[in-house]
Amino acid sequence: MLATQLSTKLCQTAAHSAATTTLPATHLLLKLYCTWNHTSRTIEDSHLLFDKPLYTVPTKITPIPAKPLLVTLDAYDTIYTPIQSIPVQYNAISSKYGINLSVSEIKFRFGKAFKMLFTQYPDYGKEEGISIYQFWKMVLAEMYTPWNPNKSDSERQKAAMDGQLGERLPLSDVCFEKMIHEITRHFETKQAYRIFNDVVPFLNQCQDNHVKMCVASNAEATIMKLILKEFELHPYFTPQDVFLSYNLGVHKPDPKFFEIILQQQMMRHFGGGFDWRKLIDRTWHVGDEFEKDTVCVSKLGIGSILIDRDYSSGFLKHGEGVKRIDDKFYVVDSLDKLGWLFGFKRNN
């Protein structure tokens, strides 16, 4: 019964996916597999749908044939992650002003406010001349409408009813402005986030092996400050090594995002006459999202490392450190595995 249900669901998306994707055949199968893979199943479980697994996973994994020339890294949940959940951190600040919301209420209110403002001001208001700080203040002012003294009584009442809060009295102008400012500034600092323990050792390995590195993130400009100043990663990255969708004007999973990055990195580090195909073949991207990281770079032929520290992707069994899906796609549970996988222990 399970196999029948899953196969039916898979087939419903197969025709559309085949018609709209430019993925290699093996990656298309993998994407279809992930359509139904919302549990802790691993890739070997695909025998429930097919006569044999989608991939024959090798019993012995060997390092990639050629050391990378360039490694690109996603930022959020690859380099850094929240110290506590975002809603908990919101409440830690807002509770000082008498506002304490449930996790679900915060997610609802933030999501609604962000969607509205981002639709009105795409790319965080960049084209309208709105600063990042101003944009987030606008989102928070909308999110906390029931307490916003600048909203009308009817607006506050409607917003409170939307979240089933009941009537709420507004804060004073001074208190509301202070709360919004405090929340906004908090998430620009390492008080809100931490870098993973495996990041700096991996960056050191890349430097020692003369591998170029850069950050490739769907993010706005404050991430530059987090990476270089707050996390003190300036020995590894310069401002020219931090590529953000906010600055590039294109977002993952559009492969143009990585095409722009590689073009700029090639000119900077290797020269305009460098073999483009060679750079593609020896560039690897590390990220935590299958669609935005793995699928995206595969369209260009760039190698992909899916980082799965909590074994939630479905590819790794608990405690399994590294898995080869194909020549251009590996899944690891830690950046510690990449030094060996990239051949850093061999002669340069």
- Nearest CA to 99 among 150, 145, 56, 54? 145
Q: Tens-digit pLDDT profile for the chain (348 aa)?
A: 433 343 444 444 444 444 444 444 444 445 444 444 443 344 444 434 434 334 334 447 889 999 999 999 999 999 999 999 999 999 999 999 999 999 999 999 999 999 999 999 999 999 999 999 999 999 999 999 999 999 888 888 887 777 656 557 789 999 999 999 999 999 999 999 999 999 999 999 999 999 999 999 999 999 999 999 999 999 999 999 999 999 999 999 999 999 999 999 999 999 988 999 999 999 999 999 999 999 999 999 999 999 999 999 999 999 899 999 999 999 999 999 999 999 996 544
Domains along the sequence of the chain with CATH:
2-48 (no CATH), 70-81+194-341 (3.40.50.1000), 84-186 (1.10.150)
Tokens of 39: 């549990």
pLDDT of residue 36: 40
Amino acid 345: pLDDT:
66
Q: How big is the chain, counted in residues?
A: 348
SS (H, E, C) 69-138: CEEEECCECCCEEECCCHHHHHHHHHHHHCCCCCHHHHHHHHHHHHHHHHHHCHHHHCCCCCCHHHHHHH
pLDDT computed for residue 30 by the predictor: 52
How high is the pLDDT of residue 40? Answer: 39
pLDDT of residue 166: 55
Q: Residues 173-197, buried b or exposed e (16+ Cβ, 10 A)?
A: eeebeebbeebbeebbeeebbebbe
pTM: 0.81
CB 293 within 8 A of CB 73: no
pLDDT confidence of residue 108: 93
Task: Cite the DSSP H helix spans in the chain.
Answer: 2-20, 25-36, 86-94, 103-120, 122-125, 132-143, 153-162, 173-186, 199-208, 222-225, 245-248, 256-265, 276-281, 296-298, 338-341
Whether the CA torsion 266, 253, 214, 211 is positive or negative: it is: negative
* d(C-alpha 92, C-alpha 69), whole Å: 44
Match 């996973």 to its residue by tokens: 57
pLDDT value, residue 169: 79
Q: So what's the pLDDT on residue 93?
A: 97
